[in-house]
Amino acid sequence: MPILVDEFEGSSLASIAFIPSLLYGISTGAGPVASALINRYGFRTVTMSGGVLSAIGLAISAAANSILFLYISVGVVTGILLNLL
């Protein structure tokens, strides 16, 4: 966390700690989405696509220049897609 505070000056520890909280909250709350996709496309397809797309979401977050970008890339995008694994 101290590295992110240094990288994103003006950000508080609370705003940075919200990133993994958002990730875990969305990944556990998106269960109905995963269930619907599994019923439609099957376990293998959903799991493989979720793994590849969540890796892309984490790779995109490496280019983050703001906390809001991390909220979206890590918290929302990766949170939803990790639920598919």
Question: Half-sphere exposure of residue 1, counting CA atoms within 13 Å on the CB side?
Answer: 10
- Give the global pTM: 0.82
Question: Half-sphere exposure of residue 12, counting CA atoms within 13 Å on the CB side?
Answer: 3
Q: Give residue 84's pLDDT.
A: 85
Q: Are the beta carbons of 58 and 70 closer than 8 angstroms?
A: no
Give the pLDDT of the chain (85 residues) as one tens digit per residue: 677 777 888 788 888 889 999 999 998 898 898 999 999 999 999 999 999 999 999 999 999 888 999 999 999 999 889 888 8
